[in-house]
Amino acid sequence: MTDRFDVVTLGEAMIRLSPPNHQRLEQANSLDVVIGGAELSVAVGAARLGLSSSWVTKLPKNALGRRILNQAREQSVDVSRVIWTADGRAGLYFLEAGAAPRPSSVLYDRKNSAASKLAPGEVDWRFLKGVRVLHTTGITPALSESCREATVEAIEAAKKAGCKVCFDVNYRSKLWSPKEAEAVLTPIVKMVDVLIASDAATIWGVEGEPEQVLRELKKRFGIPVVAMTVREDSGVLRTRLSSIAIADKRYKGTKVYDVEVVDRLGVGDSFAAGLIYGYLRGDMQTALDYGDAMAAYKTSIPGDVNYATKEEIDQLVESGENLRIQR
């Protein structure tokens, strides 16, 4: 195995605990356990599409840290750059799956996590030499001061190494305010090659239709590629998914997916993985189409991890949906 990964991602993964059967957390007597975290999900998504990927994070030396690691390894994500620490904790989040009019909701319990203590200087980023894409999201710098610095360090190292940078804004209102996010993310997005801007409007106060928002962001920050998923929710359990991007020209996802929602988490990360897949093939239309197909497929699968196969995604992109039972 080589270090010249197609994709390297940086960020936290957490133990996700969710009450079964649409229960509220207050009434739960058992919680389902999966592993969730935006950047790990992208690394897994990329691996499912046949790319080689590596994930960089900091994990606590205990059973929960091992549980998280197992999920990454299971999906063939390289973990050789993971840092272990004796005193941090595993970040947790509790997910309540809603139904209209009750939205799904996340209760974070991730303060003082091992990952939030990641600091500049801990990772030798020279290994990005030969890597094709570094991906991270707006969650990582939201975790802590040291994470902010580590994120900038990583992106600067990528630029130096000739590695493209993909960045998903991923605004989390429970972690910071739009204002805080703006201050931290503005210098970052100026460095990125691909920006996924689904939540960008809130932060930079850009108004208008998706296309306008993207055009404005592209212009304001000088970003080569900006993309965005477009959702129309007709309930918590039913949504329509598509996407657009502005690069050399405007692109739109070929299909709009009418999706029956099993699990909303990790959908944006599946979009990112598909987008990177197409971007690395040098074709933005493919990027959106794989992004949309990955996102739509993920929505039908419980957990944050996208257990779609490349064959399934290829077929969805090429032949479109077939909802009849396969037998």
Residue numbers annotated as active site: 269
What is the contact mask toward a copy of itself in residues 167 to 186, using x (rule: CB under 8 A)? Answer: -----xxx------------
Query: Would you count residue 318 as binding a copy of itself (CB under 8 A)?
Result: no
* Backbone angles phi and psi of 259, in degrees to 5: -110, 135
Q: State the minimum distance, in angstroms, from the CB of residue 220 to a copy of itself.
A: 25
Nearer to a copy of itself, 76 or 186 (CB): 76
Terminal CA-CA length for the chain: 38
Half-sphere exposure of 1 (CA within 13 A, CB side): 12
* Backbone angles phi and psi of 3, in degrees to 5: -90, -5
What residues from 30 to 59 belong to the interface with a copy of itself (CB under 8 A)? 30-34
User: Are the C-beta atoms of residues 114 and 90 closer than 8 Å to each other?
Assistant: yes
Query: Would you count residue 75 as binding a copy of itself (CB under 8 A)?
Result: yes
Q: State the minimum distance, in angstroms, from the CB of residue 105 to a copy of itself.
A: 4
Query: Would you count residue 20 as binding a copy of itself (CB under 8 A)?
Result: yes
Largest CA distance in the chain: 54
What residues from 257 to 276 belong to the interface with a copy of itself (CB under 8 A)? 257-262, 264-265
Q: State the minimum distance, in angstroms, from the CB of residue 87 to a copy of itself.
A: 10
d(CA 130, CA 275): 20
Nearer to a copy of itself, 165 or 294 (CB): 294
At 312, the amino acid letter reads E
Q: In whole angstroms, how far apart are CA 2 and each of 21, 45, 53, 97?
A: 43, 19, 11, 40
d(CA 294, CA 296): 6
Q: In whole angstroms, how far apart are CA 188 and each of 108, 150, 183?
A: 25, 12, 10
Q: Which of 247, 226, 245, 240 is nearest to 299 (CA)?
A: 240
Query: Would you count residue 4 as binding a copy of itself (CB under 8 A)?
Result: no
Nearer to a copy of itself, 160 or 309 (CB): 309
Q: State the minimum distance, in angstroms, from the CB of residue 190 to a copy of itself.
A: 26
Nearer to a copy of itself, 20 or 187 (CB): 20
Of the candidate residues 76, 177, 186, 212, the single one contacting a copy of itself (CB under 8 A)? 76
What residues from 225 to 264 belong to the interface with a copy of itself (CB under 8 A)? 233, 235-237, 257-262, 264
- Torsion from C-alpha of 168, 251, 312, 279, nearest 10 degrees: -60
What residues from 108 to 167 belong to the interface with a copy of itself (CB under 8 A)? 108-109, 111-112
CA 202 from centroid of its chain's CA atoms: 18
Total of residues contacting a copy of itself (CB under 8 A): 84
In this chain, which stretch among 121-129, 185-193, 279-287, 290-298 interacts with a copy of itself, using CB under 8 A?
Answer: 290-298
Nearer to a copy of itself, 74 or 209 (CB): 74
Query: Would you count residue 198 as binding a copy of itself (CB under 8 A)?
Result: no
d(CA 172, CA 55): 21
Nearer to a copy of itself, 142 or 225 (CB): 142
DSSP per residue, 4-21: --SEEEE---EEEEE-ST
Query: Would you count residue 99 as binding a copy of itself (CB under 8 A)?
Result: yes
Query: Would you count residue 297 as binding a copy of itself (CB under 8 A)?
Result: yes
